[in-house]
Amino acid sequence: MKFLVNPGNFNKFADYVFLPVLISSIILFSIGLIFAFYLSPDDYQQGSTVRIMYVHVPSAWLALLTYAIMTLYSIAGLAFRIPFGFIINTAVAPIGAVFTLICIISGSLWGKPMWGTWWVWDARLTSVAILFIIYLIIIFMNLSFENRIVREKVVAIFVLVGSINLPIVKFSVDWWNTLHQPATISKLSKPSIDPSMMIPLIIMTFAFIMVGLVIAILRIKTEIISRKSNLI
Amino acid sequence: MSLRLQRLLFILLTLAIILSAVLLILYNTRENVSYFYTPSEIDKLDIVINETIRIGGFVENDSFNKISSSSFKFKITDEKASILVTFNGILPDLFREGQGAVIEGAFVNNDIFNATNVFAKHDENYMPASIKEDLKDTGYWNKKYK
Amino acid sequence: MIILNKMISFYYREYKLNLSGFQDILTNIIFFFVSIFIFIFSIGPDKETISSIGIGIVWTLLLLSSTLSLRKFYQDDFENGNLLIMHLNGFSFGFITILKTFSHFIFVQLPFLLSIPIASILLNIANDKVIYLFSSFIIGSFILSCLGSISSSMNLMNQRNFLLGSVIVMIFSVPIIIFSVGIVNIEENFNSLISILFGVLLIVFAINPWASGLCLKLALENN
Amino acid sequence: MILVKDLSIERSNKKIFENVNLSLGSGKIILLKGKNGSGKTTLLKALLNLIEPSSGAIYWKGKLLKKNLYNFFNHVTYISDKTSSLSKLSVQENIKIWKKFFLSDISNSQVENILKTLQLDIYLNQKVNSLSFGETKKLEFLRLIIENKKIWILDEPLSNLDDDSIDIIAQTFEDHRSKEGSIIFSSHQESEINVSEEVLL
């Protein structure tokens, strides 16, 4: 498991898995999209608008997962002095921002026909909007400091402070009355989704993870190389 | 006291403060930071005429009346209390009897709520249209509103 | 006892410093009032509208005006080496941030507090609501001080984009605005909403010395 | 009292200096010499525990400096290349703040004497930002006397000063040495200060 903390090992590992990940992302995405658009049934309430969920839900999960990963690596970087944590932070932030943006846009597209509005300021939507802005601030911070050592540590501190938002996003639908529906799939209870819709959702989730991994591997490798050559 | 021990104590103190603060916030927000009120909460509050609020609940079964093509009358309920709502405008796709909805508007008098916006609230259940009929008989899909 | 003496002299120094720069604080307050005038004129003469959104305006403007003075939070003391001298005088970085946060609250935020009654007259806010606004602002402005400390210490070494500091404060103060403005609108829930605000205050107050202290150390290391 | 053993410092994968050994006892004056960028300031900052050494260690009174930090700070005055006096306040107010801040029991006549030797007494009621750069620098040295600590760590104390002032500084250093104090300072220029050890970086 050294590739999780060591740039050299990561490079070797990345070379090893990159092609399989790329291929599986393409395959999973095509299967997932076919499932989502043609093979999955219409919902009893929403009709075929439910298909937006196959993009919306995975992107939302990945937006949160990306931030959680950044939080873990920030702790690793600050408390255990593992510089690879900072590399991950810089490389992964834009990916998370894009996932959050996809989540927001697809959510709005679903909300207009279903709820009757593009956007409301309930707890879930507000906290996701804040998550998006936090991602943007991280990206801007990465661009605006001259000194690399200061920059990466300050960004890590900011990531840690901003991680307060993470449980708020996740649990806002349980803690407060929101227009957004509560979680469909949780560990504790039986999912309230039919298997014929669950399968495409899972496939799409893995497809999103694979695409995220492809971009992340590329970005992390560039980051490692540019650090080695002291470009930044 | 060594520096290390001092540091550890500070960390524990910080965590304790944060934990108690989170509990304090959660305890107090449970009732107050809501996107909407439920009808039984409205019952307990004093009704202020013409103040904009949001009410959330189920559209009561057999309460929906179409007065004209764009003017509707229905009841919002949470099975303990219900409120009569009038609305002029376009209803969202998901809006139907037995389905959740959030309405924004103000009371025109003590009994009638005039909605300016109606949002349909979707629940966390997803199922194919084809098996809805089967399940309707067993009553599984008709979940009660909390 | 020595540390107490040092703290007193720290605040003596802050007092002298802020007294000499008092026109900056006054400018902030003038900014606050001019913005209120602009709001009133751009909304129009309808007293009902003004008083219904008045509390929101006061909060937004207080937030904006307190981000104006962020740059002075640590920057001056950092650039002339006084942060290091304070540290060498026996204060740990975390302790410096706590002292500085209180100083910012006393010397920058409290003058605003005094201007709230005047602002509420201008904005037609009902007298009985002013007391709610007042008490929520005491807590809210202390939260703003803590957030200001975090964001300005993060931006000590940021030469290119200082506006980022204001954005950081503003994004984290969204929940405060949600709760504080709620407080004044719902009078029967006053106690529970005040305790929510107090909870937020505890969280930022607990995080502040760790986050800002680390940032101060970083900035001094790499300066 | 301060012992530096095999100190090396790296910053962003660049070696700044390697294997520096120092020992600063009482009554000793150490001069750090070197070109710009040779790491004089970095070494001084490492002595204040601001910079983590990549290898080697610094000891204070036989203990690791890191573990004994605030005790060490009780005995040290640091003057950086910046001027820490508050520019909007007068010289007198600055002195008053310093005296309170460092809990100093120095008498007013003593301060006046030093101000006279530094030729600053005429500016007593003027604001610091009306002084010239060299004069603010001299004012900074007043802190050495007010703080009254044993160890002085000075970063480029001699730059921007005229010969007369350097003579005064040299005299102050001698006084401090005779009182069993110790000084470590950096400089890139030649001076007539009588040092007990020179370290070339």
**CA distance linking residue D103 with residue A178, whole number of Å:** 58
CA distance D82 to chain C (A): 6
pTM, full prediction: 0.87
Q: Is residue B68 exposed (0-12), middle (13-18) or buried (19+ Cβ within 10 Å)?
A: exposed
Residue B141 reports pLDDT greater than 50: no
Question: What value does the mean pLDDT take over residues A14-26?
Answer: 93
Q: Compare A188 and D63 and report the one with higher pLDDT.
A: D63
Report the share of chain A in percent with pLDDT over 70: 96
Angle at D17 between CA D14 and CA D18, to 5 degrees: 110
Distance of alpha carbon C186 from alpha carbon D49, whole angstroms: 52
CB contact under 8 A, B32 and C202: no
What was the pLDDT predicted at A63? 96
| Count of domains for chain C | 1
pLDDT at site C15:
92
Are D185 and D152 in contact, with CB atoms under 8 Å apart? yes
Q: How confident is the model at residue B107 (pLDDT cuts 50, 70, 90)?
A: confident
Q: Exposed, middle or buried: residue D104 (CB in 10 Å: 0-12, 13-18, 19+)?
A: middle
C56-60, Cβ contacts within 8 angstroms, sequence gap of 24 or more:
C56/C181, C57/C123, C58/C116, C58/C119, C58/C120, C58/C123, C58/C125, C58/C133, C59/C137, C59/C140, C59/C177, C59/C180, C59/C181, C60/C177
Q: Which of A5-19, A110-124, D170-184 has the lowest mean pLDDT?
A: A110-124
What's the average model confidence in pLDDT over A92-99?
96
pLDDT value for B143: 44
Nearest to C16 among D77, D89, D102 (CB): D89
- For residue C164, give the nearest of A137, A160, A161 by CB distance: A137
CA C216/CA C87 separation, integer angstroms: 10
> How many beta carbons lie within 10 A of that of residue A116, not counting itself?
21
pLDDT value of residue A64: 95
How much is the pLDDT for D37? Answer: 79
Q: Which tens digit of pLDDT belongs to each residue from C107-136?
A: 988 888 888 888 888 888 878 778 888 888
- Chain A residues touching residue C207 (CB < 8 angstroms): 161
- pLDDT for B136 equals 56
Residues composing chain D: 201
Kindly state the average pLDDT of the residues C84-110.
Answer: 92
In this prediction, residue A60 carries a pLDDT of: 95
Which is higher by pLDDT, A48 or B115?
B115
CB pairs under 8 A between B and D: 3
- Residues C150-179 have a mean pLDDT of 85
The pLDDT of residue A120 is: 84
Across residues C165-178, what is the average pLDDT?
86
Q: What is the pLDDT of residue C223?
A: 76
In this predicted structure, what is the pLDDT of residue B130? 66
Mean pLDDT for the stretch of residues A36-46: 80
**Burial tier of B23 (Cβ tally within 10 Å: 0-12, 13-18, 19+):** exposed
pLDDT at res. B137: 53
What is the structure's pLDDT at D67? 83
| Full strand arrangement of the beta sheet holding D2-11 | D14-24, D2-11, D55-60, D63-64
- What's the mean pLDDT in B102-120? 85
Which tokens go with A100? 């959050």
Residues B113, B82 contacting (CB under 8 angstroms): no
Rounded distance, CA A186 to CA A57, Å?
13
Cα B78 off chain centre by: 9
DSSP annotation string for A135-196: HHHHHHHHHH-S-HHHHHHHHHHHHHHHTTHHHHHHHHHHHS--SSPPPS--SSS--SB-HH
What pLDDT does A7 receive? 86
Tell me what pLDDT residue B133 has.
Answer: 58
Which residue in C75, C84, C79 sits closest to D45, CA to CA? C84
Which CATH topology does B35-121 take?
A: OB fold (Dihydrolipoamide Acetyltransferase, E2P) (2.40.50)
Among the ranges given (A39-43, B135-139, C187-191, D80-84), the one the predictor scored with the smallest mean pLDDT = B135-139
Average pLDDT, chain A: 88
Domain containing C212 equals 2-221
What ipTM score was computed for the predicted complex, to two decimals?
0.83
Task: Indicate whether C61 pLDDT > 60.
Answer: yes
Residue C203 contacts residue C210 (beta carbons within 8 Å): no
Q: Within 13 Å of residue D162, how many CA atoms lie on the same side as its CB?
A: 7
pLDDT band at B145 (very low <50, low <70, confident <90, very high): very low
Q: How many CB pairs under 8 A join A and B?
A: 102
Against chain B, the chains showing at least 3 CB pairs within 8 Å are: A, C, D
Q: Which of D76, D86, D103 sits opposite C88 (nearest CB)?
A: D76
Pick from A14-28, B69-83, C33-47 the range whose average pLDDT is largest. A14-28
Q: Residue B31 has what pLDDT?
A: 61
Note the pLDDT of residue C8.
Answer: 92
Residue B103 tokens read as 């309405």
- Please give the pLDDT value at position B30: 66
Please give, rounded to a whole number of angstroms, the shortest distance from the CA of B94 to a CA of chain D.
Answer: 58
Distance CA D184, CA D187 (A): 10
H-only helix segments in B33-115? 39-44
Are the C-beta atoms of residues C93 and C174 closer than 8 Å to each other?
no
Residue environment code for D17-56, b if the CB has 16+ CB neighbours within 10 A, otherwise e = beebebebeeebbbbbbbeeebbbbbbbbbbbbbbebeeb
CA–CA distance, D44 with A136 (Å, rounded to integer): 38
Per-residue pLDDT, averaged over C87-111, amounts to 91
Under-50 pLDDT residues of chain D: none
**What pLDDT does residue A61 have?**
94
pLDDT value of residue A159: 95
The conformation of residue A35, written as its DSSP 8-state character, comes to I
Chain C residue with minimal CA distance to B28?
C192
Mean pLDDT of A64-68: 96
Assess whether pLDDT exceeds 60 at residue B144. no
Does the structure show a pLDDT above 90 at C148? Answer: yes
pLDDT at A210 over 80: yes
Whole-number Cα distances in Å, D99 to A151, D112, D143:
37, 13, 9
